[in-house]
Amino acid sequence: MKIVFLDKSTVGNVSNLELLEEFGTVSYYDETSPDQTKDRSSGADIIITNKVIIDHKVMDANPDIKLICIAATGMNNVDLEYAAEKGIAVKNVSGYSTHSVTQSTFAMLFTLLNSVPYYDHFVKSGAYSKSKIFTHHGREFTEIKGKTFGIIGLGVIGQSIANIADAFGCKVVYFSTSGKNTNQAYPCLELNELLSTSDIVTIHAPLNEKTNNLIDLNKLKTMKPTALLINAGRGNIVNEQDLAFAIDHKIIAGAALDVYGKEPVQADNPLLNVKNKDSIILVPHIAWASKESREMLIKGIYQNIAEFVEGI
């Protein structure tokens, strides 16, 4: 079979990529622009895409397509209804990044909470060498033990976050963005109650009509001025302009983000220009991407192709 991976660079260097070559000839492209998609998909039986859009125009131009493998969980880059009409199977991969996102969420939280960049700079700048005492109390930090830890979206990743927060001695509460996931081991609160009572709020929800712009300035104003907000879900869940305002006006104490409304983040994104830069941590949509997670992703794609081939 002819297989085309349209944006291989999105998964980085993975040790098990050759698994895909078991099924036929694989053409790898690091990135593919919209005007290149049709030509690069020409004659392909299987298309692998992470973020490259596969719409009706691409499918109509390439009648050989039998399977579209999404190298991610989210499927919004493929016209699923049209694929179904054309008899094209579409498969995604889920569950591969749970441990990576969990670890990364707490890494962002502790970097922010413990002022790690500040203390690192204090030592490396030579300031610590000039100190008259063995320690330095330039930035106060608190423990998360005993704090209320609010989770927006208690799916598989949210539950993993909850377990770790619970182990740290936090009081865990959550908000169900679907309104259906309400029978869990932790208290389920309405959003305003969660925001107003939580010391730490982490977001692990999908982007949809219910979560788009979920956290705007009005919602941020309901939070404690000492609260921290972590977004490891989707960028447009949090209004970036409003969050920048909230950080600079100390409406909340700090925030950390791994995701943005437009990715890569735009040069004019207001979060890049906040005045209180020490109160915000920004990382490039990397929470999902541990070495192990990316290898599990490739294994998941391999399994999806194997199941499809067996069913032919």
31 tagged catalytic: no
* pLDDT tens-digit series, residues 9-37: 999 999 999 999 999 999 999 999 999 99
Please check whether residue 269 is in contact with residue 39, taking contact to mean a CB–CB distance below 8 angstroms.
no
Please check whether residue 251 is in contact with residue 277, taking contact to mean a CB–CB distance below 8 angstroms.
no
> How high is the pLDDT of residue 39?
96
Q: Which of 204, 234, 240, 294 is catalytic?
A: 234
Q: Which residue ranges form the domains of the chain, and what is each CATH number?
A: 2-94+291-311 (3.40.50.720), 98-282 (3.40.50.720)
Q: Are strands 89-91 and 148-152 parallel, antiparallel or unpaired?
A: unpaired
Query: 25 pairs with which residues across the strands?
Result: 2
* pLDDT tens-digit series, residues 103-124: 999 999 999 999 999 999 999 9
234 tagged catalytic: yes
* SS3 assignment for 162-195: HHHHHHCCCEEEEECCCCCCCCCCCCECCHHHHH
Structure tokens at 154: 């208690």
Q: Which of 99, 193, 285, 295 is catalytic?
A: 285
- pTM for this one? 0.94
Banded model confidence at residue 195, pLDDT cuts 50, 70, 90: very high
Q: Which of 263, 292, 294, 295 is catalytic?
A: 263
* pLDDT tens-digit series, residues 250-289: 999 999 999 999 999 999 999 999 999 999 999 999 999 9
